[in-house]
Each structure stands twice: as C-alpha cells, then as structure tokens.
Amino acid sequence: MDRSIKQVAIIGGGIMGCAVAYYLRRLGIAVTVFERGEIGAEQSSRALGYVRCQGRHRAELPLSVLANRMWETLPAELQADVEYVRQGNLVVAETAADEERLRKSCEAARANGLSTRAVDRAEIARISPKLHGPWRSGIFTEEDGHASPTKATQAFAAAARRLGADVRTHAGVRGIAVSGGRAAGLWTADGVFAADAVVCVAGISTNFFLRPLGVALPIQVVRSSNLETVAKEPFTRTGVWTPYISMRPRLDGSFAFGTGYRGSPPDHDLGAATVGSLGYFLPRYVRNPRRPRLRLNRDFADSIQRYFSMTASAAPMPDPVINEPQIAERLVWAQKFFPHLVPLEAARSWACRIDVTPDLVPAIGPWGPPGLFTAVGFCAHGLALAPIVGKTLAELIATGSSEVDLRALRPGRFRESDPQEDPVAL
C-alpha cells in the first residue's frame, strides 16, 4: 500500500467514477467524487445496457472477461437490484461478409476462454424464436447479459457512500491543481480541494481538464439515438444484435433498441474536439464505410464556450439532440425483425454522446503529471467494463500496480504511434 495516498479526488460521477470510488474505499482510502450534475445523468444513464464480451476488440477482451465474472456477484455485493440478466447475447449474420466477420470474432472470443459458438438458422430459431429475418448464421455467447445502466450507476454511488465516500453532486470542477510537478487536487468554485491523487473520468469532457496540462488525448465525440418501447408481454431475456439494430429486453417487457453492427452510422457534432485530434482520426474516417455523419447544431457553440472557459465546462451539459429519423428507422427495423410486436410504440427516445478513441478502445491508467490517472474513450462499453476498471484503477492508485495488465490500453500509446487496431471487433 502506498501510504502517501490518503485522499483521492475524482472528476466525474458516472458509473466509472462511482466504481473507482467504491473500490478505493474498500482499500481504505479517502475519496471525494465531484459531479457537475446528478449522478449518472450524462452518458452513464443513456447506455443501452449490454454486459457482453462478444465482439469485443482483442485489446479489450481480457478486461471484458474479468468484468463479466464480476457482474455475476455484483448485485449482492452492491446490495442493489441492477436488473442484471445473464441469458446470453446473439449476433446474427445476413451476408457472407457478415459470416466471415462473426467467424473471426468467435475465434478471438474462444481464444480468451469464452463459450462463444457458431450457430445455424435452426439454433437461432431455438435461442430467439420470435426473431425473423434472412439470417444465414450467427454466434452466441451464453455468459453475456445486460443490466440497467441507471440502476447500476446509482448502486455503485450508494455503495461507495455507505463505505464513507464523499459523493458530491452539482459540484463542477474548473481544473486540476498541480504542485511540485504532480497532481495535487482540484480547482473548484470554493478554491483548491487538496488531494494526493486525481482521477479524471469525465467522459467527453476529459480533455477540458487534460488540455491545460498539455496532456490532451485524441478523443472525438459521436452521438447515437436510441429508443425504448412501450411494454409488451415479455418473451425473451436474450439480447440480440443484428446488422441494423440491437435489442436489449427489459424485465417489464419493454425493449431498448440501438444501432446494429453495420447499420446507420452515428452522428458527429462538429465542435472544439473535432480539429484537435483530426490527424489521428482522419485516416480511419476515410476508410470507414460507417463513418459518422458530420452535423452542425447547438453543441457547436456549447463546445467552443467550454473549450475557452473552465467555468462553463463545470456546468452540466444540455441534453444531446435526438436524431428523429434514426429513431423512426430503428422502430421500422424492430417491427420487421419482431413482427409479433406490431404495432410497436416508442415510450421514449434519447441521444447519448460517446467518447471514442482512434483505435476504438479506452485509454486507462496514469497519465500526465504523477498522481493523475484517467479512464476515457470507452466507445459505449463503459457500463460493462466499470467493475474491473474501477477495481484496477483503485489498485494502481493504492499500490502502484494491478493484477490486470493495462499496457495495450495505456494512454501514451497514441503518442508512441502504437494504436491497437482490430478489424474483427464488432
């Protein structure tokens, strides 16, 4: 145990920040979480809810496997119902190219100890009898599942508080304080909050805090729009991922629908982050058939204001714009693939801002001045990875090492021209 680390300050009260706080308190370290709005009110409450290893990037798979094991006991550990269901995840292929992609994904999963297996049309019908479509084959992973993003985030926050963590809401941070060449706390509206280590897990806002220190990371923001349907008679607990939409069944008989693995592309709202790391992203953007669609909306002015004003960036962000045509498209596909649900009505729709890296896997670990740690760029995988990332970061802070090898995900890989490419990832 590093006896010099007695107080840790965390920027961001999403699931990652609350998970880090929980595991730090289990190690006996004092921790204060600063959240500019409500707990989990930004990206963490807007995820679809998948807890899966299937289709993961090879650099992320080891973490995913460990996280999946932790989710089995997490509800009991956190003393909360997080709607965790472990009844598998099914991915279906429509074309020969889809089949080849899923075959390679299956091989990668099995190489990491997963039960992922290829399934034919007959087994697809057995696993998900109500699913219609021209499916040639698919892959299925029994140990995958799903959970409620909002309930899981709140559960981590509540558990951290029970252990003595100070979790503050409406407490915006204006900057990271540095003293003697190391991170020494946070600049807040009330002055400097002193700490022995700082964890920046602020999602798409991470670079607002890293940039003044000269250690900004290549992060872009994409926006995806999702919907939840009016509850119907429950008929499955298995998540389904098609080329056009993904479907997560909820316990009450409603469904959350998001993007498929080669469906409509996400949106990229032009803003301050667009130019800063363009050199990292442009090659991938040019060769990506699902390249994000460039949009200009109210987020442009907001991002510019936050770029130049730490006071502005300390305030909660406005809700992201919902892509209504994308919502309508998802509803059409949902009724086509699950015709027994027709007519299917949307109970609500929402959009989420997703922090992505050039190689589509997160940057996790120490970064910048000593005492500063970050975890960013989860590419919509933060919910599933939160338990293992929270535990691993807590170990790194408390002891200087961890059981999990994070070298492939180190923040410095971009400056070292060592991106973790994986064309097989879904």
Question: What is the tens place of the pLDDT at every residue in 194-213?
Answer: 999 999 999 999 999 999 99
Distance CA 48, CA 255 (A): 10
Given a cut of 70, whether residue 219 has pLDDT beyond it is yes
pLDDT at 407 exceeding the cut of 90: yes
What pLDDT, on the 0 to 100 scale, is given for residue 274? 85
pLDDT over 70 percentage in the chain: 99
Return the pLDDT at 263. 80
Q: What are phi and psi of 191, to 5 degrees?
A: 110, -155
- List the beta strands (DSSP E) in 108-253: 117-119, 137-141, 145-146, 166-168, 173-179, 182-188, 191-194, 197-200, 220-229, 239-241, 245-249
pLDDT tens track for 335-351: 999 999 999 999 999 99
**Mean pLDDT value of segment 311-325:** 93
Token pair of 199 as six digits: 């964890």
Report residue 383's pLDDT band, with 50, 70 and 90 as the boundaries. Answer: very high
Helix axes 15-26, 149-162, angle to 10 degrees: 30
Contact criterion met (CB below 8 Å) for 373 and 365: yes
321-346 average pLDDT score: 95
Q: What is the pLDDT of residue 285?
A: 78
The separation between the first and the last C-alpha atoms of the chain, rounded to the nearest angstrom, is 39
How far is residue 402's CA from residue 280's CA, in Å, rounded to a whole number? 29
Is the preceding peptide bond at 423 cis, omega within 30 degrees of 0? no
Q: What is the pLDDT of residue 3?
A: 65
Q: Does residue 81 carry a pLDDT above 80?
A: yes
Residue pLDDT, tens place only, 130-146: 999 999 999 999 999 99
Across the chain, what does the average pLDDT equal? Answer: 94
Beta carbons of 217 and 276 less than 8 angstroms apart: no
- Nearby residues of 288 by Cβ (< 8 Å), 6 or more positions away: none
pLDDT at 340 (0 to 100)? 94
pLDDT of 1 above 60: no
Asked whether the CA dihedral 45, 14, 244, 273 is positive or negative, the reply is positive
pTM strictly above 0.85: yes
Q: How far is CA 410 from the centre of its chain?
A: 17
Kindly list the domain boundaries of the chain, sorted by start residue. 7-413
pLDDT band at 283 (very low <50, low <70, confident <90, very high): confident
- Per-residue pLDDT, averaged over 2-12, amounts to 90
Predicted pLDDT of residue 289: 72
Class of domain 7-413: alpha beta
> Where is pLDDT greater, at 284 or 91?
91
Q: Assess whether pLDDT exceeds 90 at residue 307.
A: no
Q: What is the DSSP string of 65-107?
A: HHHHHHHHHHHHHHTS----B-S-EEEEE-SHHHHHHHHHHHH
Task: Report the sign of the C-alpha dihedral through residues 19, 24, 26, 32, in that order.
Answer: negative
- Count the residues in the chain: 426
How far apart CA 172 and CA 176 sit, in angstroms, is 12
Q: Is the per-residue pLDDT at 291 higher than 90?
A: no
Q: Answer with the residue of higher pLDDT: 311 or 413.
A: 413
Q: Does residue 315 contact residue 328 with C-beta atoms inside 8 Å?
A: no
pLDDT higher than 80, residue 114? yes
Report the pLDDT value the prediction gives residue 425, as an integer from 0 to 100.
Answer: 82
Q: Convert the pLDDT of each residue in 136-195 to its tens digit.
A: 999 999 999 999 999 999 999 999 999 999 999 999 999 999 999 999 999 999 999 999
Nearest to 368 by CA among 221, 219, 197, 203: 197
Confidence of residue 287 (pLDDT cuts 50, 70, 90): confident
Residue 248 has pLDDT above 80, yes or no: yes
**Calpha distance 376→237 (Å, rounded):** 30
**pLDDT confidence band for 286 (50 / 70 / 90):** confident
